Each structure stands twice: as structure tokens, then as C-alpha cells.
Structure 1
Amino acid sequence: MKTVNAQTITETIAHLCIDANRNLPKDVAAALHQAEENEPFAPAKDLLSLLTKNEQIARTTQMPICQDTGMAVVFADVGQDVHIAGDFAEAVNEGVRRGYVEGLLRKSVVGDPLRRVNTGDNTPAVLHTRLVPGDTLTLTVAPKGFGSENMSQLRMLTPASGIDGVKRFVLDTVRAA
């Protein structure tokens, strides 16, 4: 049985929070650059150019890629033969806390959605844990921005609304944004 200290988890999560907000994965950055090169439509090419320039600036200055540094979503694959010395969830949240404070990342998480009081450190994280065979622990941090929630809407349509009802709802929602 392999033992992983909670402090190691905290330090790793803090590093991953900062890195995920400053550096796109290489395959994603390459795909953006490739899309820019291959895009024939000028307005779309201009937009992709802005995204690739932003990625380069963030990487070279080690500033966040986006001002919305999001809520930390942590994926943990925990081996069946791994013993965690300490409280796993608390270690993850302490790592998020340290990463967002030390990395000077924007704190935008509220503790109680009805009271809307900012936690000041972007905790709690959303933690997805999966038990897997073996003696390894794999941690991935994916910041989830909140922009898409700003103007999202939900509506229950009757079957009689049909495709036209769906189209009307989508267009009305876009216009309201």
C-alpha cells in the first residue's frame, strides 16, 4: 500500500490551480493556432488571432489566461492501493485556497448561493473522485468559468411548442443577453 500525505496533495493542487489558469495545455494551444491558420472567414480569423495572442501573453507573463479564473473543479483518480494520510477533501480545498490566494487569482465563489457572500478564497472546490485499480493518485484541476451562466435561461416547453417554439426561445434568450 502506498501512502500519500495530505500536505503533498495540498501543494500539488495549489500548483495545478495556478498553472491551469496561466497555461493552456499544449495540444489546446496548438489546436487554436492551427484553427487560426486554417480559418478562411476573416472575422473568425481575427477572433482566433486574439485568442492565440492572449494565450502567448498569458504564457510569457504568467498572468491568467482569462480574468474569470473560475471555480476549481478537481478530478481525482485514487488507486485502491493508496492510503491518504489526512483528510483528502480538506487537503484539496486547502490547495485551492492557497493556489487562488498565492497565485493572485480572482476569487469568485460564493459559499451560499442565496446569500451571495464570496468565500474570499474560491473554496469549496467541486471534487470528483474515482476509485481505480493500482497504487497511484492522479489529480487534474480544470477551472470552470462562470460566463455562460450569466445569461443562461431554462424554459419548459410543451410538445405543442415544436421546433418553432424552441427557435423562438433561443432567439429571445440571445436577444435578452
Structure 2
Amino acid sequence: METIITKSQVADAVYTAIPRLACELPADIEAGIAAARAVEDNPRGRAVLDQLAENARIAREDRVPLCQDTGTVWASLEIGPDVLVAGDVFADVDDAVARAYDEARLRKSVVRDAILDRANTGDNTPAFCDIHPVDEPGAARLHLMLKGGGSDNASRVVMLVPGAGKQGIVDELVRCVREKGANACPPLVIGIGIGGTFDKVAGLAKRVLMRPVDEPAADPRLRMLEEELLAAVNDTGVGPGGLGGATTALAVRVATAPCHIAALPLAINMGCSAMRRCTIDLASEGGAR
């Protein structure tokens, strides 16, 4: 039977999820912070991890934001080949975002235009939305993320030459972490996109941040690359809060794609210690992970 996704389903999911995302650290991130605390031998690093754990507890119990920067809203709808999207499925998302941010008293952080008019829109809209087709019958998943400015500002897209190879990717990631990682509120979750084109590679890096930190890549080659990149990042010693320590990142997640023979596109999307994201299964009765 054909699955139909409507604009009201999407808007309702966004409206319901935003207050929870702002105040509840995802379980995999909270567990990752606890695991990092168990092995951290730097006193300042331990203190930061303790503060992050306490902050998460207070935010959850008192229903207050994990961070004063409650971010921009990113919504990505994954749909399978047999899923019908009726009209402009994102038509009511901005209204849902405006209501959710107002009612939950979350900070509004969106300006009207990046250079021509930097007046605040006053309601945290527009949301940044896209549709991503997947070859998975019945798939209808809405990925949501509240993305803070500090972590996105520490991100980058680089068009490497093919000869740079894997070592060039490692070197660029380490350089990015050394230069900007402390500003992104570590311990980080880092999304890496490799391949595609200039405009597509950043999307790879953003979407792969949705994979939990305790869920390694299914492809063993990607799993090895993620482990190598994570080790290189943590060897920088930037540490929790940028104050030194063994855990600069909880995880590095990698997505790859085909590309032109003359290209090696690389995108690095930093995710902060308050990785506010969830995935909602619109084909079921609203189950989320």
C-alpha cells in the first residue's frame, strides 16, 4: 500500500520535536560523554565532561535549553520510491517553527539575509529543509537538527586534488580541528562528506551527523576510516571544552559518493557537545530515535 506524507504530518512532527530537542541531550551523546569521562586523565577535561553531564541533567529535569544558542532548524525528509509526497510538504514548517520557538521561549537566531539585511526575523524562520530520496521501499523518515552557530562556523568545504588521497583528508580534518575545533564546543561529533560535487558534499557531511555515535558504519572500509580519523582528531589534544584532554571528539562519521575524476570534494561539518537531533519515522505512529 502506498504511503502518503502530508505537510501537516511534517509540520506537526517539527512542532512537537523542537522543545524536546532543545532540552534533552540524545541518549547516545549522553552515554558518549559518560564513556569519555571514564577514560579522561586530564583534570580540566574531566571537569568539563562533569559539567556537560550536569548541564544535561538540569536541562532535562528543569525543561530549559541545553545551550543558549538554540540553533537554526534543519529538516531533511528521506522518502522511499513508493512514498508519495503531497504538494509542498514543507509548506507549514515555518509556522510550526515559529510557534514552537515562541511557546518554548527559545532564542531566535535567524537573520533576514546574510549580507543585505541582517535584521532578526523574530521567529527563527525560515527553517532549512530538503528532500532526500532513498532506495528503500516504505521509508519516510524526518531528520531534525537544531544546529548552533559555533559548530557550523567551525565547518568547511575544501576541493582537494585527487592526489591528496586519504592523507590529505586526514591532514585537512586535523588542521580544521586545530584551528576551529575549540570554538565548536567539544567533545565534537564530526560529519565528513567525501565526493559528489561542490554543492552536494556539504549535504553528505550534514546528513551523516544523524548516525548515532554508538553505531559504526556498516561498510568495514568506512568503519576503519572513521576510526582512523577519530584517532587523528583526538591526538590533537584539544580536548573537552578546548581545555586539553583525550576526547576532542566522541565520533567521526563519514559518508562518501562518486565524483569527477579530477576532484576530491571534502566537507567537514562540526557537531557540538549538544548534538540536538532526532529521526522521526513518519510511516509509523511517530516513533523517533
TM-score, with length taken from structure 1: 0.78
Aligned twin of 2:147: 144
Q: CA deviation at 1:121?
A: 1.3
Q: CA deviation at 1:142?
A: 0.9
Asked if 1:131 is matched to 2:133, the reply is: yes
Give the alignment of 1:1-177 within 5 angstroms. 1-114=2-115, 115-132=117-134, 133-148=136-151, 170=179
Cα deviations by residue, 1:8-45 (Å, 9 ceiling, x for unpaired): 21110112222221111111101111212221111110
- Which one-letter code corresponds to 2:128 in the other structure? V
Distance in structure 1 (CA, Å) of the matches to 2:75 and 2:22: 13
Distance in structure 1 (CA, Å) of the matches to 2:137 and 2:103: 33
Q: Percent identity?
A: 34
Q: Secondary structure at the match of 1:88?
A: coil
Distance in structure 1 (CA, Å) of the matches to 2:103 and 2:87: 23
Residue ranges of structure 2 left out of the alignment (5+ in a row): 156-174, 184-289
Q: Is the strand fraction higher in 1 or 2?
A: 2
- Which one-letter code corresponds to 1:142 in the other structure? M
Cα deviations by residue, 1:55-112 (Å, 9 ceiling, x for unpaired): 1111111111000000111121022222234421223323322222222211010121
Aligned twin of 1:162: none
CA contact (8 A) 1:22 1:58 kept: yes
Q: CA deviation at 1:148?
A: 4.6
What is the total number of aligned residue pairs between the two structures?
160
Please, which moves more after superposition, 8-17 or 48-57?
A: 8-17
Distance in structure 2 (CA, Å) of the matches to 1:26 and 1:110: 31
Structure 1 stretches of 4+ moved >4 Å: 148-152
Q: Secondary structure at the match of 1:67?
A: coil
With a CA cutoff of 8 Å and minimum separation of 6, indicate the structure with the bigger relative contact order: 1
Distance in structure 1 (CA, Å) of the matches to 2:45 and 2:72: 28
User: Pairwise CA RMSD of aligned residues?
Assistant: 2.8
Distance in structure 2 (CA, Å) of the matches to 1:151 and 1:81: 38
Q: Is the helix fraction higher in 1 or 2?
A: 1
Please, which moves more after superposition, 8-17 or 126-135?
A: 126-135
Distance in structure 2 (CA, Å) of the matches to 1:151 and 1:100: 25
- Which one-letter code corresponds to 2:129 in the other structure? L
